Chains A and B, each alone.
Chain A
Amino acid sequence: MTVRLELSRYGMVLIPVLLAMLLAAINYDNNLVYSILFLLIGVLVVSGLYTYRNLTSIEVKPGNIWPVFAGGTLRYTLQVINRGDHPVHSVTFRRQDSDATFRAFCPYLAPGASQMVELIESVDRRGRFCIHVMEVATLYPMGLIRARFEVPLEWDYVVYPRLWGDRPWPDIEPDVRTQDDGHYRGGESFYGLRNYRPGESQRHIDWKAVARGRPLMVKEFASGGTGRLWFDWVQLSDLDTESRLSQLAVWVVQGDRAGGPYGLKLPMQVFQPAIGPGHLQQCLTALALHHTNGGGRL
């Protein structure tokens, strides 16, 4: 870790002011102006040492990263530890390898303390990305000199496709072996209500509700039958690639929420119907990386 020192933007503004003082001192041959000028230069130099010290004891580790869909906000945290004997003041964290201007700011960290720092960033493209390097910088104590170092993180993350699309679910394929009629939701435990779709079996209609004057609703039951719900790339042949992926992502998320097994068919990949967060993540990742040459990097 090399800490680099440089004049900050503010420090750059100070230079012409100091030059003006020098000119005044020379022109008026004024020793007192000289002495104030030199005192300020001395303070500037010494403050640089404090700036340097402020960063030397900092350790930065990757913390958590939260899943994100394109169009949403990426959130991740860094763990900042002060390994030194002095408090650390005013440290900013900025992702070095993107054009995001967002910085996280840690105002104070006591000796030996550790803190989570959250960074956010808006994302608009799906795919696999990497946080290569974080820049840690400080302007302490006077804002005139900036110290910075770069922490190599090489931290991969995936941006899922944008959640967009309102197509209804595809039909459920009947399971031939178990003679299931394809009513995937035919479980025992009540799950919820949804609108009745014309042509559907009337077995699960909530007739009591109808008697109370409500519209036709269908009772859903979870963890029911063995019917196969497939979200298939081919079913959306009328859409362009991104819209297809977006629609599939919507379906997958809905499928996960519904709780029943669902499968995903992509041109090169097939995910057998299953449930659970791992399955969801696999499916969404596959959608995110579809035709991105194995994960494009920025």
Chain B
Amino acid sequence: MSWLRDRHGDHAVSLSREQVYRLLGCFIISVMPQIGNIPLWLLLATGGLVLWRIQQERRESEPPSSVVKLLLGIGFLLGVYVDKGTLTGRDSGTALMVGLIAVKFLELRNRRDYMVLTFVIYFMSVTALLFEQSILVFVYVVICCGCLTVNLITLHSPGPDNSPSRSAAQLALRLIVQGLPLALVLFLFYPRINARYGFNLGSSTSGLPEKIRASSFESLTEDSSMAFRADFPGGEIPPATSLYWRGFVLWDYNASTNEWQGTSPAQEWRDLTDTPANLVGGKRLLQRITLRAHSQRWLFALDYPAGSAWNGQGELGTGYVLQINRELHRKIQYLVTSQVDSHPLVQSPTMQRASLRIAADLIRPEVRQLAKELRGPGDSDEKVVANMLAYYHKNGFEYTTKAENYGDDPLYEFLFVKRRGFCEHFASSFTVLMRLAGVPARVVAGYHGGEYNPYGNFIIVRQLNAHAWSEVFIKGKGWTRVDPTVMATVTHLAAPITPTARQVEPTRRISEALERKWTPDWLPPLAMEGRFRWQLVEEKWDQWVLSYTPELQTDILKDWHLERFSWEFFLLATIFVLFLTILLVSRSFQRRRTSEEALLAIYAEFCVTLKNSGVPRYHWEGSTEYAQRAARILPAASKPILRFAREYALLRYGKIAYLEPALEPLREKVEAVREALTQAELHLNQ
């Protein structure tokens, strides 16, 4: 006889050391993907608290007083506020949650706290998906949730000797697998609301800088993370050098800070001339773009996007830019059509003024002098452009990815002293000089080139592909792209599209050469192939999971001849699958009948058959006596009855090792009895 006493209900049961350690373990693995998103001081403090808790457990010391915990909590609150400037939103919220969970661990003593903490850690592990939506992170989060579930099961299903049951992981797996159909239906049919009431959204820093100055792209040149992926449903992929992914247009030059800014044109000169109808020349090209969250409002497309994208959420604005009405905080996929190699022909007077505006008196006289020299007597705008490009060529301007130390007036320094710079130096200086020389010009920011994936037939554009170029308005021809970075330097972006498309610095070349020496020949192609394959998997993931939008949902429903989505349908589908789940899972509970039981069931069937013919079995009768009596009363079926009884007795009482193969013939014998009886009855009726 064994029993356990529990005087105060199960919530007060104290926790074993192993249980505390297991939950700590779950906490630690759940924090892992968040490490980059949490301030370092908070990570260190959390680690300290975890160690403190382990120490408590080892020394079996008392939990710290509530004052200490309160102070710690307030400390985290203040720290996060100082660090992030806010307490709400994704970033602060996650950081705060991690800290407060660590504090809560200090007072973890009973089962109720344990459960609450487990749930909060579930939530915390899921928040990793708000930062990153890749397959790997998703799989990782699923594993975290699985660990937490196993932990919950261990807590609530002790084994024979009250030890944690070994099958907890197995049961967790079964629960997850059996819960999948319901999850799938919920996922497919839960009505997605186009959330236009965003709460405070977090910030991420993966976008292009919206102010372009001397070194604003510098941080991007080494960043090989993906910006977006593009494939061409039409099948035709344009050559890499012509891939200018338009992001946004910068209209205003601030001469005192040397910055290009003004991504959204002022209201008074916003006009409606930038419509698809005003694009001339070129051909239409459809692209499907999977854009990673960049916390900005721009959607990217090849020059020039002709029409809205992302189901109308990305509207075509002034300067042929695609803009959405709120910042993008998740990966999205959209279709967009561009008119490549075309020119916007029309320019409104207000836009004309805006693209000539420059505070000339704030610019060094040398620069103004240069601008004056660009336009010789009677020179057309086109000639001015050519003169400027010739100036770059003549003076040996070089493109570099290495940061140059520029002083107070980078424009002057770039043009007359250093003559080395990033794309933004070229674009900026070129546009300024065009405006000074009276040619309407603007700076465009976006990406150039990309890496072609031969397996998936798509192009990956990375942050290091970030680029800035200029556009000038030529009368009669319209807006024309001029990329001074390419046109003014010799070796340049025309190189094949690889992640290292940009010109490589000599020092880096040496280090790469060294690297090449130590890596076997077969490795780089293999690594590249692996990368391409993985990109393909990611593409499918993005296409089927991430971009499951309300529109796709509606499409699926339309396939099922349901015009519109409705809550009724959602409920109906859910209830249906719920019942199906219950049915199937309950079936899995049922034990399979042993063959002995099956034998008895057949005998019971035999008895019922005879009873229906008016010969019920007396409870003292054995099978043989019963059969003999029944055979006497029912002579018509006597033979099958006796045959059955003989066989049954043999199986039931004889030494038969394997009953299974004998069962089906026996069942047929019952069938024979039934048939004989029916025949007899028919005969009688006739």
Contacts and interface: CB of A to CB of B under 8 A. Distances in A.
Interface of A: 9-10, 13-14, 17, 20-21, 24, 26-47, 49-50, 53, 85-87, 89-90, 92, 101-108, 110, 115-118, 120, 139-144
A139 B198 CA distance: 38
Nearest to B152: A142
A38 B190 CA distance: 10
Interface in B583-613: 585-586, 589, 591
Contacts of B195: 26-29
26 contacts: A13-B115, A27-B197, A27-B199, A28-B130, A30-B129, A30-B130, A31-B187, A36-B142, A38-B187, A39-B180, A42-B176, A42-B186, A43-B176, A44-B179, A45-B182, A46-B178, A85-B591, A86-B591, A101-B7, A102-B7, A103-B10, A105-B5, A115-B2, A142-B152, A142-B156, A143-B156
Contacts of A13: 115-116, 119
B275 interface: no
Q: How large is the interface on B (under 10, 10 to 19, 20 to 34, 35 or more residues)?
A: 35 or more
A67 to B, nearest CB: 20
A115 B1 CA distance: 6
Interface in B622-656: none
A143 B157 CA distance: 9
B542 to A, nearest CB: 10
Contacts of B330: 28-30
B415 to A, nearest CB: 45
Contacts of A10: 112, 115-116
Which 6 pairs from chain A and chain B are nearest by CB? A42-B179, A38-B186, A42-B183, A42-B182, A38-B183, A85-B591
Contacts of B179: 39, 41-46
Nearest to B181: A42
Contacts of A107: 4, 158, 162
Contacts of A14: 119
Interface in B567-581: 578, 581
B24 interface: no
A9 B112 contact: yes
Contact of B175 (A29, A103, A141): A141
Secondary structure type dominating chain B contacts: helix
B112 A32 contact: no
B100 interface: no
B391 interface: no
Given A36-B142, A39-B176, A104-B6, A17 B120 contact: yes
A143 B115 contact: yes
Contacts of B384: none
Interface of B: 1-11, 90, 112, 115-116, 119-120, 122-123, 126-127, 129-130, 133, 138, 141-142, 145, 149, 152-153, 155-162, 165, 171, 175-176, 178-184, 186-187, 190, 192-195, 197-199, 201, 329-330, 545-546, 548, 578, 581-582, 585-586, 589, 591
Nearest to A86: B589
Nearest to B159: A108
A29 B329 CA distance: 9
Given A39-B176, A143-B115, A17 B181 contact: no
Contact of B10 (A92, A115, A117, A118): A92
Contact of A89 (B152, B158, B329): B158
B324 to A, nearest CB: 12
B312 to A, nearest CB: 16
Contacts of B133: 30, 32
B307 to A, nearest CB: 23
Contact of A27 (B3, B153, B198): B198
Contacts of B171: 50, 141
Contacts of B329: 28
B538 to A, nearest CB: 13
B664 to A, nearest CB: 24
A31 B194 CA distance: 12
Given A13-B119, A29-B192, A105-B4, A43 B186 contact: no
A87 B197 CA distance: 50
A142 B152 CA distance: 5
A139 B154 CA distance: 12
A49 B157 contact: no
Contacts of B1: 115-116
Q: Which of B10, B181, B187 has the most CB of A within 10 A?
A: B10
Q: Which of B115, B153, B578, B581 has the most CB of A within 10 A?
A: B115
Given A32-B138, A45-B578, A140 B3 contact: no
Contacts of A26: 193, 195
Contacts of B129: 30, 32-33, 36
Contacts of B180: 39, 42
B186 A41 contact: yes
Contacts, number: 188
A17 B145 CA distance: 14
A107 B122 CA distance: 26
A24 B128 CA distance: 12
B581 A139 contact: no
A103 B6 contact: yes
B183 to A, nearest CB: 4
Given A32-B133, A143-B115, A143-B152, 18 more contacts: A13-B116, A26-B193, A30-B330, A35-B545, A39-B180, A42-B179, A42-B183, A43-B176, A89-B156, A101-B8, A103-B6, A103-B9, A107-B4, A108-B158, A115-B3, A118-B3, A139-B156, A143-B156
Given A103-B9, A140-B156, A33 B130 contact: yes
Contact of B126 (A33, A43, A143): A33
Contact of A34 (B182, B190, B578): B190
Contact of B187 (A20, A35, A101): A35
Contacts of A101: 7-9
A92 to B, nearest CB: 6
B109 to A, nearest CB: 16
A50 B10 contact: no
A90 B199 contact: no
A103 to B, nearest CB: 5
Contacts of B120: 17
Contacts of A142: 149, 152-153, 156, 175
Nearest to A84: B591
Contacts of B9: 101, 103
A39 B156 contact: no
Contacts of A90: 156-158
Contacts of A144: 152
Given A34-B190, A115-B3, A21 B8 contact: no
A82 B186 CA distance: 36
A34 B3 contact: no
Contact of A105 (B10, B115, B184, B545): B10
B546 A31 contact: yes
Nearest to B176: A43
Q: Which of B142, B165, B589 has the most CB of A within 10 A?
A: B589
A281 B199 CA distance: 74
A142 B156 CA distance: 6
A50 to B, nearest CB: 7
Contacts of A117: 3
A17 B119 contact: yes
A9 B112 CA distance: 9
Contacts of A34: 187, 190
B158 A45 contact: no
A143 B187 contact: no
Contact of A38 (B142, B182, B201, B585): B182
Contacts of B175: 43, 46-47, 50, 141-142
A31 B542 CA distance: 11
A14 B123 CA distance: 10
Given A46-B585, A89-B165, A104-B6, A24 B158 contact: no
